[in-house]
Amino acid sequence: MSRLSNKAHQWFRLDNAAKIYPVIVSVKNSSIYRMGVIMKDPVDPRALQSAVLECRDRFPSFFVKLRRGFFWYYFESNDKNPVVYPESPFICQSINTYTNNGFLFTFYYYQNRISLEVFHALSDGYGSFMLLKAVIFRYLEKIGRPQQNDGSVMMIDQAPDPDEFVDCYKLNNTRDKIQKFPIHKAYRVPGKRYKHRGIHITIAHIDTVALQDLAQKHGASVTRFLVGLYHYSLQKNGDPNQLRKRPLTISVPVNLRRYFPAITVRNFSLYFNSTTQYKDDPISLAAILETLKPQFESGLNKQSLLNRLNSNMAFENNFLIRILPLFIKKPLFKIGYTLIGNSPISSSISNFGEITLPKTMADAIESFEFNLASSYKPGIALNTFNNQTTMVFSRYFQESSLEQTYLSYLGEHGVKVEVLTNSWK
């Protein structure tokens, strides 16, 4: 395939969300997330490698390398070829750009699984999933399974739409008066760390209809119920003394494309923070869900999200910030992230929602697995496909009581749960 079309995209500015990631990346925080697809048949590595390469011209904002400018980092078109690797047991580690030919994403394979790991500066989950779908679509064609697109897959023979590369934070920034959001140091989830750099993964396959019924019985949406159950489980297994001192804050990523018209495959998401405060009364899921209800109502609406978007853009638009050279910006950003982006968060839970695919693709796929394991905090990522909800719990510490409490609650209330784990020692 010709690469001429990629010449129109020689370089890209980092979007508003992306600017922080090259600054904060470290051994403790790789800023890598993962999405995997479990195929019904073993993976053909050569066909996968070929499918990835053929998506180059369709996704030029992914086929880049990170460059350091005087004021900001930027992306430059990468003419090398990305390499498809056998999967390592150590997932979501910082990408070695030297061995990865400069690329900030990596495709892996293991038996029936194809996985994509992405440095968050490139894109959010939505954008990366568009790439993953296109690669799988083409992969299936290459192994002799004809595909029919229903319009939901970005085809490699189509030219990219310029709106796919827009910085939608900047586009939607209204520069209204900035609303201040309270910032409090959050409760830190305790645990004995593993000596190695592995991440413990627990995968739970859950009947979606039963889960929806249980959430309805609790008078909550599925997302609010799952977030509330996470608060409940963390409080049940937490340190009461520390929980009394600090709020328990769980971050929930929000896809802004649901609120603002956009087709960008770059970052366009924000984080909604849900907060509860431990009390000496018996821990009640019903009480927690009631506490979260007004938070969801006030935080998950277009105006509130726009306020947060404007607040984030105000920092980037600040004249002094813009004129500072990058070597001065970096330590300031690190301090700001620690105080504003990291310390106020106890954990994260991300609901990618229901995945729909062309029937020809869906027939070849068993399930999807998303993973947030990129920092030293526990997390949950989930998606729904083919009437099955898959939840992936990730943690760097040895104690398993958190997911045991969470999944036991579901099982005790009539929700069938099948559990898999990588069983780190």
User: pLDDT in tens for each of the 425 residues of the chain?
Assistant: 333 344 556 889 999 999 999 988 876 778 999 999 999 999 999 999 999 999 999 999 999 999 999 999 999 999 999 999 999 888 888 888 899 999 999 999 999 999 999 999 999 999 999 999 999 999 999 999 999 999 999 999 999 999 999 999 999 999 887 777 778 899 999 888 777 767 888 999 999 999 999 999 999 999 999 999 999 999 999 999 999 999 999 999 999 999 999 999 999 999 999 999 998 888 999 999 999 999 999 999 999 999 999 998 988 888 888 888 888 888 888 877 777 767 889 999 999 999 999 999 999 999 999 998 666 789 999 999 999 999 999 988 878 899 999 999 999 999 999 998 876 55
Same domain, 66 and 152: yes
**Domain CATH code at residue 21:** 3.30.559.10
Q: Report pLDDT for 8.
A: 56
Which helix or strand (DSSP H or E) is residue 13 part of?
strand 11-13
Q: Report pLDDT for 100.
A: 95
Under 8 Å between Cβ of 30 and 91:
no
Beta bridge partners of 206: 389, 417
CA-CA distance, 420 to 391, in Å (whole number)?
10
Residue 194 in any domain: the answer is no
Same domain, 123 and 236: no
Under 8 Å between Cβ of 100 and 83:
yes
Residue 178 in any domain: the answer is no
- Residue 102 in tokens: 């400069």
Residue 306 in any domain: the answer is yes
- Residue 176 in tokens: 């209204």
**Domain CATH code at residue 210:** 3.30.559.30
Going from the C-alpha of 239 to that of each of 71, 187, 245, 299, the distances in angstroms are 43, 9, 10, 28
Q: Report pLDDT for 410.
A: 97
Q: Report pLDDT for 89.
A: 84
Same domain, 78 and 213: no
Reference 51, options 78, 82, 80, 75; nearest CA is: 82
Reference 377, options 130, 108, 193, 179; nearest CA is: 193
The residue out of 172, 191, 223 marking a domain boundary is: 172
Beta bridge partners of 420: 203
Dihedral sign for Cα atoms in the order 181, 305, 296, 402 = negative
Under 8 Å between Cβ of 186 and 248:
yes
Same domain, 248 and 166: no
The residue out of 172, 189, 217 marking a domain boundary is: 172
CA-CA distance, 77 to 60, in Å (whole number)?
7
Range of the domain at 146: 11-172
Could you write out the DSSP letters of every residue in 380-425?
EEEEEETTEEEEEEEESBS--HHHHHHHHHHHHTT--EEEEE----
Same domain, 134 and 276: no
Same domain, 310 and 417: yes
CA-CA distance, 119 to 163, in Å (whole number)?
21
Q: Report pLDDT for 12.
A: 92
Residue 187 in any domain: the answer is no
Same domain, 48 and 122: yes
Same domain, 286 and 249: yes
Q: Report pLDDT for 231.
A: 97
CA-CA distance, 295 to 272, in Å (whole number)?
9
Same domain, 246 and 164: no
Q: In 215-324, where do the E strands start and end?
A: 248-255, 269-276
Q: How many C-beta atoms surround the C-beta of residue 255 within 10 A?
A: 17
Residue 238 in any domain: the answer is yes
The residue out of 155, 172, 189 marking a domain boundary is: 172
pLDDT tens, residue by residue, 265-286? 999 999 999 999 998 888 999 9
Residue 241 in any domain: the answer is yes
Q: Report pLDDT for 423.
A: 64
- DSSP three-state, residue 198: coil
CA-CA distance, 348 to 237, in Å (whole number)?
16
Same domain, 51 and 166: yes
Residue 179 in any domain: the answer is no
Count: domains in the chain: 2
- DSSP three-state, residue 290: helix
Same domain, 144 and 106: yes
Same domain, 67 and 211: no
Residue 394 in any domain: the answer is yes
Q: Report pLDDT for 282.
A: 83
